[in-house]
Amino acid sequence: MEDSSIAFRELRINDQIRVPSIRLFDDTNDEALGIVTIGDAQLLAQERGLDLVEVAPQAQPPVCRLMDYGRFKFEALKREKDARREHNSIRLKEMKLRPKISEHDFQTKYGYVRHFLEEGDKVKLTIMFRGRELVHQEIGRALLDRLAEEVKDVAQIERSPLVEGRNMIMILNPVSKKLPKGGASNHAEDPHPQGNPEAVPPVGDG
């Protein structure tokens, strides 16, 4: 049974095509057959054991292709399912930092961020301001810029730093696809294999 969530667009084929003439191509051998009558095109499709498929109905004349429509539809649906599965597998991790973070804690959190990105996950970086720290937003911006520079080989900026309330947020997008579970990986090992990256304790002022 077909997945109703797939957005494949059915095309008119064979007897469903009701125009006097078309521009015809044969997908099986890349042959351009020029402008032919619809009757000749349908006859040719039957002779070659293929479907006549209207791919550009708005063109003048409409463009049709000779192909195995069942196979074409199967492959198109498979591509859409794979793309959707890949999209849904990307998770959003969050890493919170304080403006006065120590160098040691910065390196620790940098390690987690790089690990997330190498795993194919997006990362939301949040600088949390307290009290009058919000007056010095440039400190938070410098931290985010530094992190982005440190991971530029594995990530790109999806959303530039933006202040929301008392937080400054930036989102990094991995440049490589997420590996399937159990698959081989060429990325560095988890810099903190015994810890839980999502449970890094917040760093206080200091």
Concatenate the DSSP letters of all residues of 31-94 into one string: EEEEEEEHHHHHHHHHHHT-EEEEEETTSSSPEEEEE-HHHHHHHHHHHHHHHHHHHHH--EEE
127 pLDDT above the threshold of 50:
yes
Query: pTM value?
Result: 0.46
173-183 pLDDT per residue, tens? 998 765 544 44
What value does the mean pLDDT take over residues 166-172?
92
List Cβ<8 Å contacts ≥24 apart for 73-80: 73/8, 76/8, 77/2, 77/3, 77/6, 77/8, 80/6, 80/7, 80/8
Task: Tell me what pLDDT residue 177 has.
Answer: 61
Domains, the chain, with CATH or none: 14-86 (3.10.20.80), 90-199 (3.30.110.10)
Among 97-106, 120-129, 181-190, which is the least confidently predicted range? 181-190
Per cent of the chain over pLDDT 70 is 79
Instruction: Quote the tokens at residue 127.
Output: 């600088």
